[in-house]
Structure formats: C-alpha cells, structure tokens
Chain A
C-alpha cells in the first residue's frame, strides 16, 4: 500500500490544459474556466437543479427500457443474426443460406387490403391487436447452381416498445400525438400485445462473469457465474481443510486446485505458487498444504491430471453419432469450454484461464480469516439489472436458432427427394415458418413465461399488465425492479436498505409484507447502462500503460506497487501507476474519447483497477468538481435554460459525468456546494433525486417518519385521478377517473418533472384538525356534505365489456338481433333499451338486469369442431339459438359511455361497451393525504352543522388529531401551513425534499394576511353556535381518493346460489356468495358451547340434506327401502350435510365402508 489513509489518495490533479483543449476542440472554449475567477470564490450555479429536467429529457425513469430496447433492435439483433448467419444442408453440401442483414421496420398492420399501412398503438389497444413491426432479413442462398440474393424478406413480427426508435410516436409533437389519440405525457416503454399493455419489469441479478468471494457453510468460496452466448456455468474455488479445490457442476467432485492447474498445462509448482501468492511469504505459507496435496497426488503431467479429472467428468450430451471420447479428452473439453467459459482459450493455450483461477484462489486466501475482504452480495455494485431489451434478445436468439434448425430440417427433407421437378428455392421454405418467431415473441410477452431450454431458464411472471389505475401507478410500474431472490428465505440481507442504494434506488418506495425490500424502485436520476464495445477501451488501456497479462509472470503480477487491471471481470494486465492511469482514463472519458458509461475504479484492498463496460450497471450523473470548484457554473446553467446547451453537451464538455455504484465508491461526493473540500471530486446535482418518482410526490418527506413515506408510496398508486390526456378515448377493463382533479397547493420539484401537476390525482381540501361527532375515531374522516355536492372527491368508474361474434366450425355463428317483441308488439322491460341493431346506444341509462347487447349463440356445434364440417348445411337451415346477452349487473345504475364495433386481427367482429358510473363519496370510502395517513369516511355532515372560522371558512374534511402523535408525520403539518399560506396569498408552494418553502416564510405570509402564525384559528361550533373551546389548527391539504370504495365491496346474502358439487353456498362477492363461518369462529362457538347455533350455521344454513339410513346395515338407502338388506323395515330419515353424504359415497368408491349407527338421544 502506497498511501494508507482514506481519501487523500483519491485526490486527482485536475488536468486543466487537457480539458480546455477538448473544449476548444468542440468550439466552446468561451465557456471554459475564467482564469481570474479561479482565484476567487465562485458562486456555484444556484439553479443547478435545472440539469434535472434536461437530464430527464434524454435519460432517466422510463428511458432505460427504451434505450435497452433500442440497443437490442439496433445492435444486439444484428449480433445474434451474425452469430447464426449460416444455414447449410446435410444432404447437399453445395447448398447454403446466409443472412446478410436484418432490420426491424416500422409497425405495420397485417390487414392486406389496407390503404394506410402504418398503425398506431391506440388502434392496437382498441382492436385487441399486437403493436408489432415486420422483421426483415437480407438473404443469400443457392438455387440449383445459381446464387440468389433477396432483400427484405419478412421472417416474423417483433412487438414494438412504445416510444422506442421503431415506434410511430417517437419524435412527434403534441399535436401529432393528439392526432394519433395518444397522450404526450405517457411514458412509453411498454408493449401492446393482443390489446393489453404489458411491461417487462426490470430484473435484478447478481453480476455475471465476476469473482464473488463469500463464506458458504463455513468455508470460504470464490464463485463465478460465467455466461456466454452458448452456455451458463458456475465455477467455484473453495478453501477446505486448509487446501484449495476447484468445483464445477460438470466435474462430479472437488478437484485439488494444483491438479486442475496441471490439467490445464501449468505443471510447474513454482509457477502456480507465484501466480497465486506472488512472493508474499504469508500467502505462500497458506498455499503450502495445497501444493503438498498436489505433490502427493502423484499426478505430475498434464495427461495424468487430465485422466484424473476425466474420470470424474460428467460426459455432456454427446452429439448423435459422434465417436466415444477418451476420459482425458472429456476433461480437456470440459476445462476448455465449460469451466469458466467466459475466459477465452486460444487453441491449447490455457494460460489466461490458469491466471484467472489463480486470481480466484488468491481472492479466497485473502478473505480467509479476514471477513472484510469477502464480497457483499447485496452490494449494489455486485448487481446487474436486466431490462426488456436483454430479455427479448435472449428470447429472440432462442427463436431464431429454432427457426433456423426447423428450416434446415425442412430443406433437408426437400433435398432428399431424388429428382426435383424444378430447382429447389429455399425462399419458399423460409416463408413457411413465418409464425414461429411472431408467435414465440407475442406469447412470451403476453403470458410472461420466459422458457429457454438453452439456459435452463423458466421464468414466469416476467411481464405484467401495465397498471393504469392512475398516472403514477403506471409510472411507478415502469421504474419497478423485481429481485430474483426467493421470498421464503429468512435472511434479511437482500431486503435491507443498502447504503450503496443512495441515489440509485428509492429508499422509500417498496411494498409492505412479503415482498418488502425485494421489489425496489429506481430513483429519479438513475440510468441503466447497455453494453459498450470492449475493444477500443482495451486499446486505450494499453495505450495508457497497461502491460498485457500474457507477458507477465506471477511474481510481477503481484509485485508491490502494481495494480492488476480487470476489464469486464477479465484480467487485462498490470499497471504500475494506477492513480495516474485511472486519472488519465477519466480525462479521456470526460472528453468523450471513451463512452460515457464506462466506469473505472481502484480497489485498494485487492490492489486492482476495474474497468466495466457491460450492460445493466446502475449509474447516475454527477457534477464534476475540480480544484475545489464545481465545473458547472452559472453561465452554463443560463445557456441551458436558454436552450443553447443540452444535457449531452454538459457531458461532452466534461462538466457532468455518469458514475456507477463502484466508481461512486471511489469518489468524494459533496451534497451541497458549501461542503466542497479540497479533496472533493464530485457534486450532487440535486439531493432530492435520491427519491423515486412515486415518493417524490410527498411534500416535506424529510420531516416524516420514514415508514410513512413508504406507506404513501404504496397508496399514491391507488389514488384516483387523471390517467392520461387520452383517457376518454381509451376503453380499459376498469378505469377510475376523478371528476375535478386539482394539482396540489404544495408541489415538489419531482411533481413538475414527472408531470403530476398535469395529470393530478386528488384535490385540495380545507381541513380542520379537531374532534367532531365521535364518528371520527380510528382515522375516520368527517366530510362536509355541501363539499360533496360541489364535487369534492367525485369520481367516475368506467368498465369495459367485450363481446366477440364468434364463428363456429359447423358454419354457424353468433348473431346480434334487435329486441324481441311480445305478442302485443311491445318490447319487454329488460330489452327496452336496445336499438334495432341489438345494442344499447351511448347515453342510455342502465338499471340492474337490463340487457345492453342482445347476442345469441347457436345451441349446437358451438365448440365441437368435428361436429361441423360433415353436416355442412346445418348452419344455413334451422339453427337453434340460445340467448347469450350482456346484462347490467350492478346494483346502482350506470350509463353506456361508448360502443365500439370493429374487427380483431383474426377477422372476428369485436364489440366493446364502455359503461360509466358516477360516484360521489359515501360512508366507508377511503381517502388519504400524501403522508401515509389513510382513513375512511366516517360520517357526512351537513355544512350547517360544521364548525366555521370567523371568516366563514368551513372545512371539507375534519380530521381527528389523534392521527398525529404516534405517526409523527410532521411533513403533513407543514403541508397544512404551507398550503394555507399559498391559498391565502394565491400562489403555489413547494415542499420539495431537503428544501421547499421555509416554514418561517409561510408563517410570515399567514401573519401578513391576518392569520395566526401557528395555523390555528378561532372557530365557532356549527351545532351550538358557541365558540369552540380551543383554537383549531386548520389549513389546506391535498387529499387523494383511493380506489377502495364501498360500492365495489358491499355484499350481503340471505339465500343465493350454491355450488353444484357440494351444494354449499358459493364463495365470493362476484358469485353472490355466503359469508363464511370459518375455523376460528367455529372454535369460538365450540368454546362457548353453543352447539345448536353451530349446527344451524354449519349445516342448516349451508348444505343440509335428508338421507334415509338403514338401521340394520348402516347404509344410506331410499326412503323406506334399503337396497342392501332388501327390506323396508328399519329406514330412518336423518339430516346430514350434503358434503358428508358425498364423503361417504367417495369412501365407498374406494372400497371403504362407512356405516351409520343410529342411537336415540
């Protein structure tokens, strides 16, 4: 160690000259450092938060999905095709088919006779279609003796992510968006598959191709998950009984490390010792038992070691017909291609792999006895996030390979025929398989089942339906990260908040309960990287003085003062002056010579320099600080606000850079400009960005108890409000809309950034904090009836009902007919609303039980495909129909909002009804403020009975003060005061985290306008007319109406439907089910001794059944006849539960004979 103590070694001399050169290069030298001002304290840019909206325009929140998908479409797709470009034939050696190019076109409709080929996502949603674009390939193949080239052959359709490079919405302005019936504020990043919006959630995984050292079952283990395009495998180096072993799934037992190294051609003990231990006597001593075991194994040659390992190698599935291999060949193959498969082996040169294994061994030895040298799996730098693009790439690769192998089989089949009439054209074969890729992709996305045989991957629930409950819930879903850990595990590690999550993942937004801490959300400024090209970076590293690992012995590798350089987890070489190397590397990156998302950091404990350019790392932008001064100045911000600079220009000018978690750990980041010290390297853009989009709605969250912010993060997604600008054009299964949504009086910067003020979910209510009526206990709210009349909390519920006019195999089809007439020519009440076309028109009021679509289906032949064809004409002549109408099933009335008639992709008529109900708040409806303070409406009071201030201010809501002491939501009190002040003065206030309007200013506004600075006012009781005995704290608070409404939940049943099998009452509100007297309730009654009550509840009110039992044989018989005894002598009627009778019969079916023995009681 050169310099031991902490941060000092991280100081980096700013290389001004170089940066200025870069600026000059870019023609922006005027903006660079002012020489004079360097000597004086410079006022740092006050509006540096303006960088945030600029950032969100190019990156952040949903952009990672889009970037990842774009990367797949533009880069990964081409790579996949390149890797699988050739299709040959086993029959005709002269035949080949080669893919020379691939591209995804713009979304197109499948409808062949459409004039306008382009399709909008909105039309796909309405018509239950898939928003997909043709995948076109260029091919080159042989037809007979000729070579044929065909361009743009469509091999399938790729679902297109909204707002991606291939989406029709990209780059459109608001007017064009409106033209396409699309909301300009919609984030995109999801797919429309078969009419439903589906999101591929971000998946969190442990990083691949990196060494992770951990204690497992008491032994120190270094493990690596190697992944290449072909395979995935796990390799371990363990430390057992003071000896090192190599472990791998392909090899049945642990192999002594030295033997493994010898098998890879490293037969010299000295070389092995040097690679692992260098010249350090401490490590050499620890290594001694391992070497000794190697010596005593008597396997001194490579061949001997290979034979030894080969005997233990599980022979992989050998290709059919291939000759059986010798054990040593098996071993060599396994070591070369399976063990640590991500480390390249050139021919028989195993040296790279040996060095890698030695590195693993060294890491184990380092960690033995020193726990702090082991890695932390929960550390965010050891995690990678898998995005839509990567998941689809995996899927596409699998499908493409299958497509090609199917193609090959079919080509072989044709070529096998002895003499073809005409020259074989592979193009026709190619066209036959059109559906494989399309189907595979749409099915995976619409079901969420990702099953890839190659990687033994079988994941369910990868995609989810985009929740459109509110704008926030949709946005929250796009930033969600699901973890691959099983939730049953008791360990708290993966669930705990990791310090490295700072600024990357939101500390507040996680669900409660079993998924707590496993489902996370991205913070506002995070970006997830995509793969960068390795080769240029490698060349840059060598140019900066890295010595190639292939040229170095172990002694040099671990020499004092040198650092080992890793590139994406692979050993690149060594560097003797790591500090300088890293500094220069960063200068190159800041000047744009190296991609911005490549990270580099020094690991002092392990004396390594790590360069990462792989995808899935979480990173965020920070302002660069040099010589104790922020690189971003006022002039930059002014240019930014004037639109002369964009965020990417800041990046290019070296004012701002992206840091990933690992590099962040290698930097000194000041949160505020006044905290900048000489050793500071970076400055936060804005501290409130450590919260995510959903937690960002909370005003003054830094004054709340932390769980309250978590509760609000969960509840904010249930708030009813505006969903999108196109909300009235959408036909969703269930849509809650608020009638008069308002933007909050106390906003936050986040609210403006994510456009919550344009699509709000809630209303500002006048709130008094006092006790009133006794109907306000347990967080219940008292609501002003006049406020409800004025529209407070009013919402609309829109529900979709779909009917498909089906065609059946026997030539019959559903029909929709006008209302039936009675003999006197009148229309029955229940059909009264139907028009001549059998549908109710928009605007019609529907009551319970009324028919709004009079559909009929054929009685026969419906689902039975075989029945049809032969009978043929049956459809034409006398088809019997049974009514299958759609009836309105809700107790309250509703209206038909919209009726849409269209055809789906499969050319079936599709009719969608949108039914609307308007709901004013009623007793039991749920409300919440933005501080995790939820409550139900406890009583609705006439305004005349409500308390009022001397200015005549009435509350909309009265809240019980008991809600405050235990919850400690001080932020809510502050919101009260701030929004009261805002309302009084007529301006909006800010409650941004770590900032916002100051309480002192708010109180001053109140005083200036004749209110008390405490927020309390004199109040007169509306009931007695006397003054209330205390000053009442009142103000204005943003209240959200939550989706839980009594109208959707109320349920009671006296008699009703029963299940067919058991004859017990059905279960659930939707089936008009009974209310269950469960096990625990049963126990209460038993304990109390109410046996007759029990009997009534469990039998009489449920499934009582009278059976006749024969007293002689104990069997159940007929009334007055026992078939068993052939007698009518002793039949007794008894009442038993039907389920009990069922049990007896089932037992009899199993040859068990239950007998009933009768007795008098």
Chain B
C-alpha cells in the first residue's frame, strides 16, 4: 500500500496541520527547541535527530497533595 501511495506524494508529508502559527518542539537528542511547519519532515533543525517531544503545557497545573 505504502509503495503505491508514494507516487506523487511529497515525501515529507507529515499531516500535522495547524490553524495558527507553527509549533515549537524539543529535540530528544540536543534538547534545543525546533519549529516545525505542517508537512515538514520531523527532524531537529540543529542535529538532525528524528525524535521530538512536545513542550510542557504553559497552563497552570494544580496537584492535590493527598
């Protein structure tokens, strides 16, 4: 299936599509923030590592200490 699908499809299609601005992720190898546009290959701009983590939420998180 995948081999057929590759014809005519850009190799770098990730399908991550967003409404607003591009999102910033953290590289698993060098821990530098990497901005990724939709349909861009998932790869650290700095070191080329292919695993990215999402940043921690900026919202306040309240824990119930129990």
Q: Interface of A with B (CB < 8 Å)?
A: 111, 114-116, 123, 126-127, 789, 805, 807-809, 811, 813-818, 835-845, 865, 868-869, 895-896, 898-903, 906-909, 920
Contacts and interface: CB of A to CB of B under 8 A. Distances in A.
Which of B28, B54, B61 lies at the interface centre, i.e. has the most chain A CB atoms within 10 A of its CB?
B54
Given A835-B23, A909-B42, A815 B66 contact: no
Contacts of B59: 841, 843-844
A907 B5 contact: no
Given A838-B18, A902-B42, A808 B5 contact: yes
A412 B46 CA distance: 50
A389 to B, nearest CB: 31
B9 A811 contact: yes
A909 B16 contact: yes
Contact of B53 (A843, A899, A908): A899
* Closest A-B pairs by Cβ, 6 of them: A899-B54, A841-B57, A805-B15, A843-B57, A836-B20, A818-B19
Contacts of A909: 14-16, 42
B17 A815 contact: yes
B18 A805 contact: no
Nearest to A920: B66
A930 B9 CA distance: 59
Interface in B11-66: 11, 13-21, 23, 25, 28, 41-42, 48, 50-59, 61, 66
A869 B9 contact: no
Contact of B51 (A838, A865, A902, A906): A902
Contacts of A840: 57
Nearest to A844: B57
Contacts of B58: 841
Given A844-B57, A845-B61, A869-B4, A127 B15 contact: no
A746 to B, nearest CB: 32
A807 B53 contact: no
Contacts of B54: 835, 837, 839, 841-842, 898-901
A808 B7 CA distance: 11
Contacts of B21: 836
B15 A836 contact: no
B50 A903 contact: yes
A1112 to B, nearest CB: 56
B56 A842 contact: yes
Given A805-B14, A807-B5, A865-B4, A903 B20 contact: no
A908 B41 CA distance: 10
B5 A817 contact: no
Given A809-B1, A809-B5, A903-B41, A814 B48 contact: no
Given A115-B48, A126-B51, A843-B56, A807 B16 contact: no
Contacts of A116: 48
A841 B1 contact: no
Contacts of B66: 789, 920
Contacts of B55: 841-842
B52 to A, nearest CB: 5
Contacts of A896: 57
A837 B14 contact: no
26 contacts: A127-B51, A805-B15, A807-B2, A809-B1, A814-B15, A817-B18, A817-B19, A835-B23, A835-B57, A836-B19, A836-B21, A836-B23, A841-B56, A842-B53, A843-B56, A843-B59, A844-B59, A865-B1, A900-B28, A900-B51, A900-B54, A901-B54, A902-B52, A909-B14, A909-B16, A920-B66
Contacts of B1: 808-809, 865
Given A813-B13, A895-B61, A903-B41, 4 more contacts: A843-B59, A899-B54, A901-B42, A907-B11
A809 B50 contact: no
B31 to A, nearest CB: 12
Contacts of A841: 54-59
A896 B59 CA distance: 13
Contacts of B42: 901-903, 909
A437 B9 CA distance: 29
B20 A818 contact: yes
Nearest to B55: A841
B64 to A, nearest CB: 10
Contacts of B23: 835-837
Contacts of B14: 805, 903, 909
A786 to B, nearest CB: 12
B56 A836 contact: no
A840 B5 CA distance: 30
A844 to B, nearest CB: 5
A838 to B, nearest CB: 7
Contacts of B4: 809, 865, 868-869
A816 B16 contact: yes
A858 B59 CA distance: 32
A920 B66 CA distance: 9
A811 B20 CA distance: 24
Contacts of B2: 807, 906, 908
A843 B18 contact: no
A1017 to B, nearest CB: 31
Contact of B18 (A123, A789, A807, A837): A837
B43 to A, nearest CB: 8
A138 B15 CA distance: 42
Contacts of B5: 807-809, 811, 868
Contact of B52 (A114, A808, A869, A900): A900
Contacts of B41: 903
A818 B18 contact: yes
A844 B52 contact: no
Nearest to B15: A805
A1067 B11 CA distance: 43
A902 B52 CA distance: 6
A883 to B, nearest CB: 14
B61 to A, nearest CB: 5
A751 B54 CA distance: 39
A903 B42 CA distance: 7
A127 B50 contact: yes
B13 A807 contact: yes
B44 to A, nearest CB: 11
Nearest to B20: A836
Contacts of B48: 114-116
B8 to A, nearest CB: 7
A842 B20 contact: no
B19 A901 contact: no
Contacts of B50: 111, 127, 902-903
Contacts of A839: 54
B41 to A, nearest CB: 7
B17 A898 contact: no
Nearest to A908: B2
A809 B51 CA distance: 26
Contact of B57 (A123, A842, A906): A842
B16 A811 contact: no
A470 B14 CA distance: 36
A909 B61 CA distance: 29
A841 B56 CA distance: 6
A611 to B, nearest CB: 53
A815 B4 CA distance: 20
A114 B42 CA distance: 13
B63 to A, nearest CB: 9
Contacts of B56: 841-843
Contacts of A836: 18-21, 23
Contacts of A126: 28, 51
A818 B23 CA distance: 11
A861 to B, nearest CB: 11
Nearest to B8: A811
Contacts of B18: 817-818, 836-838
Nearest to A808: B5
B4 to A, nearest CB: 6
B2 to A, nearest CB: 6
A123 B51 contact: yes
A836 B24 CA distance: 11
A451 to B, nearest CB: 25
